Chains A and B, each alone.
Chain A
């Protein structure tokens, strides 16, 4: 029990450290990107010299990266995530408005991707029909080759829910991996023995094949969340979905340091938590 607690503490600390390093890496990239610290408003001919100077002074406050990050972390402890220069609003408000949109998009997309991917992989395993396998593999191959932007646009043009575009982007990977896992398990000796004993295909699938692949499918699930999150950025930008993907794009274009650091940390934290989940579950089951 003490070992498990020590392991859990170590894992949580590792996750926290990764998130903090992720945030700092994000901040560093923005800070040293060309065009950092400039503001489009500087080209507004209506603005007086005093106002332009004030805008420049405002942007110059975040020039010392280490100082910025320390102040940021100190403020974060008090629930203050800072202020978005580009959008003129507190980051906390922006995240609370946009995060649910992205989580919905990712949720719907992943639901669709898993239904289709695992469904087709199951059909391939159960039917033992090579034509279904060939058709499903060709479909996955084609979708894998198509750029995310084209798929997102196609869904928009087809009047379809653009959230599903995300599912179609993630589907090929889920199908390919889960198909391989299931086919590998199907050729195990105990599965052949079960079939020889006369068990039905459904029973074999549910009782022997699926449990054998469960751990790997859970890991695939974690990876698919990361895939969906990264695909959410172009999908939201192209389809105009107001989530954190679109926000990340706007922040990057405007070199909005505070907003980008927060977004990097949120995405890093989700990715780290989701990727650690299978191991946590495994340890939990063992304990």
Chain B
């Protein structure tokens, strides 16, 4: 067991578990689980207007959580909005962004490798406001075609939405370059960082993007808490996304005024324990240091690729610059059959379209098998996967 694995109780309770699906959701370290149970056991109270010690403590911790998250991505504290997850963060934007877009711009540029959450949201936006969707294509190396991007992003581009890391191939996209192209054309830039925030150092100022979205549960945090970062001056211009308690300045029967950012975007009782324990997850990452995580995972990736390449009949979808995600197919065996046989040996992989149906169609496959790593994975896990894949071949007598 590596030293990180010991921090994750799931492996103590499932000793033979080989968990290779962290891109779907990561496992949780004991520090985060403790923060959740501590809050409910010792500190539970609603935030804001409770004038008693318990509520004041909860409010303080909620605010500190926002500060921790802001520092982690080099943002200002009031530029961090708590949401449910990446999907809700993007939905927040697609609901309110129209209000601040300049007239005459009516194109949204996405990429062919977007997750449905950064695609279908904008399809709906485009239908509602008669915008046109454009896509930066992928090359045969499963990377974005940056030459084509230069032409696709033009004066009509109102919004650029791009994933930092592809959830299918693990491709690390050159978002700084794309953001700079879009900024030249005065477009709003949105980064889906769901697959990157737990693997790479994120600095929103260096990226230069207007908005950036991620989920807590993929970065050792709990389910049901996510983040939307937005530049202060833009967030201030945007109208609220939802209405209700917690975001009100004053109300008369006929009308209401709203709080400033970020509370303006946080209607209703928030996921307080979620926010506090997400901050704990970030502290956990910072203690290890994200650069160390990156190095460790790169070593594991190289080891895995070497092993996978030695399997006859495997089709790998490999970009040149890759994070901790690998997609493959084996002999045309249906991905669900591969995953099912692996699951017999307690090996967890994801199989299917990975919420990227148009991309699968483009690849001319119904899906892929996908493995994804985190710091608790080891070379032994990889060896078990390779054994498992050999078993799949045996079952199918390939």
Please say whether chains A and B are actual partners in one complex: no
